[in-house]
Copies of this chain bind each other. A is one copy, B any other.
Amino acid sequence: MTPYVAVIGASRPTAEDLVDAEAIGRGLAERGAIVVTGGRGGVMAAASRGAAEAGGVVVGLLPGLDRGEANEWVTVALTTGLGDLRNGLVARAADAVVAVGGAYGTLSEIALALQAATPVFGLHSWEIDGVRRVASPREAILAAFEAATAGTGHSGA
């Protein structure tokens, strides 16, 4: 089964967040994961770029109704019109979540993922009980990929 991993984080990230998110997107795509994001800028765009440049599938679940909102590396851009509630769909679509930095939107995705018992890994992100802190993009990739592959939450069989 193809694992689905969400990479979430702020639309106005730090420079470090961007470098890390791009590496995470790349590493996940190289291993064959589908990368799910909120489709817009900042961490979402960096993760999308890394994944797309590695030849991966990048899903962008957009808050609005205009596909032009998507960053240029999204390969499947879905306009939802749900506003911030699309954060919940990002969480629901994923077998594992990697949070890189992030603001309130990221926190809502973390909380919804944890409530659904989806594993969440945090790289210099919100320190919430239940988020497994990782120290590097490499650790994030390996941990999230393993959790997503092992996960039974959405995998059907």
Q: How far apart are the CA atoms of A82 and B83 in the complex, in Å?
A: 8
Task: Quote the shortest CB–CB distance from A10 to chain B (angstroms).
Answer: 11
Total copies of the chain: 4
Return the contact of A81 from the options B70, B83, B114 (Cβ within 8 A). B83
Asked if A67 lies at the interface with its beta carbon under 8 angstroms from chain B, I say: yes
Nearest CB in chain B: distance from A134 CB, A = 20
Q: Is A107 an interface residue (CB 8 A)?
A: yes
Task: For A81, list chain B residues within 8 Å (CB).
Answer: 82-83, 85, 92
Contact of A105 among B65, B111, B154, B155 (CB under 8 A): B111
- Closest-by-CB residue of B relative to A75 is B57
Whether A128 sits at the interface, judged by CB under 8 Å, is yes
| A18 within 8 A of partner (CB) | no
- A155–B67 touching, CB < 8 Å: yes
On chain B, the residues within 8 Å of A112 by CB distance are: 84-85, 87, 104, 108
| A93 vs chain B, min Cβ distance (A) | 5
Query: 17 additional contacts, CB 8 Å, given A65-B83, A82-B85?
Result: A4-B67, A36-B78, A69-B156, A78-B78, A79-B154, A80-B93, A81-B82, A84-B88, A84-B116, A85-B89, A87-B112, A88-B108, A103-B115, A104-B114, A104-B115, A107-B114, A108-B115
A positions within 8 Å CB-CB of B: 1, 4, 34, 36, 57, 59, 61, 65-70, 75-76, 78-85, 87-89, 92-93, 103-105, 107-108, 110-112, 114-116, 128, 130, 153-157
